[in-house]
Amino acid sequence: MIYTLTANPAIDYHMDLTAGGFIPGAINRSEKEEMFPGGKGLNVSVILARLGAKSTAWAFAAGKTGKLLEALAAEKGCRCDFIWLPEGETRINVKLDCAQETAVNGRGPLPGPAQEEELWRRVKALGPGDTLVLSGNLHSGAGDLYAKICGICAERQVRTIVDTEGDALRGTFRAHPFLIKPNEEELLSLFGYSEGSPALLRELMSRCRGEGARNVLLTRGGEGALLLAQDGRFYEARLLRRRAAVSTVGAGDSTIAGFLAGLARGDDLADALRLACAAGCATAYTKWLADKEEIEAAARDIAVN
């Protein structure tokens, strides 16, 4: 079974201001409002469901907004098994869709000792054949959470997928995560670079593998994606036809889901990478997360070497 963890989920409340624009200090009226379940792990679970792969979404949730989040995620095909906080409210992120995209993201409640203990209980109940996706940034003060979880999973032969940045990412390497998925900026920053050539990117991916990551999947936006497999081989996914991006939110999460869905149905690494890149691209071409038909269409424009 695939499990996803969203440490600080949200309801993403979109307000369409494209017609009149956003004027600070004035009363602005939206043309349309939409609500989506927010959080990187939840995004992964939604795309997995759309590609026919089962998963269970874990998240820390609270209050009335937490119940609404659960309902929204279930509507999108997620099997939710949230860890409930006794106080507070799951955060709401307000997204103003206008010429200069503006957002106000909530802080969200902190889990207490009882909720953290429940998380540990769940992690320790996993075993061989299970996969746990750890994605997104953590609350301040929880910096080594992913490293601790990866350590437990390594002991229990659980595959871990890590999508975060900085010390939280590097701290997991000693537990040999099955896959890490940085983007270019995150990979360069991890080793103190601000920019770099394709050759440097490959070198840094190799350094990640040398420090313990078993597979490294690098997303490169319009340039496609690179995979360094645990056998040392590189795979490159290239876009044969590019389209203008509508929003890159959720594209990386979709990439992870596509890769896992490909492996779950028995694809080899090249085909799993094609599906991963297609899922990421298709989501970038849409306002929210892509559906199966959009992903399949995007896959026809991707070549893998």
CA 53 – CA 238 distance, rounded (Å): 25
Burial of 159 (0-12, 13-18, 19+ CB in 10 A): buried
- In the residue annotation, 301 being an active-site residue is answered as no
pLDDT of residue 215: 97
Regions of the chain with pLDDT less than 70: 138-143
pLDDT of residue 142: 59
Burial of 118 (0-12, 13-18, 19+ CB in 10 A): middle
Q: DSSP string of 56-104?
A: EEEEEEEHHHHHHHHHHHHHTT-EE-PEEESSS--EEEEEEESSS-EEE
pLDDT of residue 101: 73
Catalytic-role residue among 144, 167, 253, 271: 253
pLDDT digits (tens, 9 = 90+) for 187-203: 999 999 988 899 999 99
pLDDT of residue 139: 61
pLDDT of residue 138: 66
The pair of three-digit structure tokens given for residue 287, joined into one six-digit string:
């306002």
pLDDT digits (tens, 9 = 90+) for 113-125: 999 999 999 999 9
CA 231 – CA 214 distance, rounded (Å): 9
pTM for this model (two decimals): 0.92
Cβ atoms 271, 262 nearer than 8 A: yes
Cβ atoms 110, 80 nearer than 8 A: no
pLDDT of residue 194: 87
pLDDT of residue 97: 81
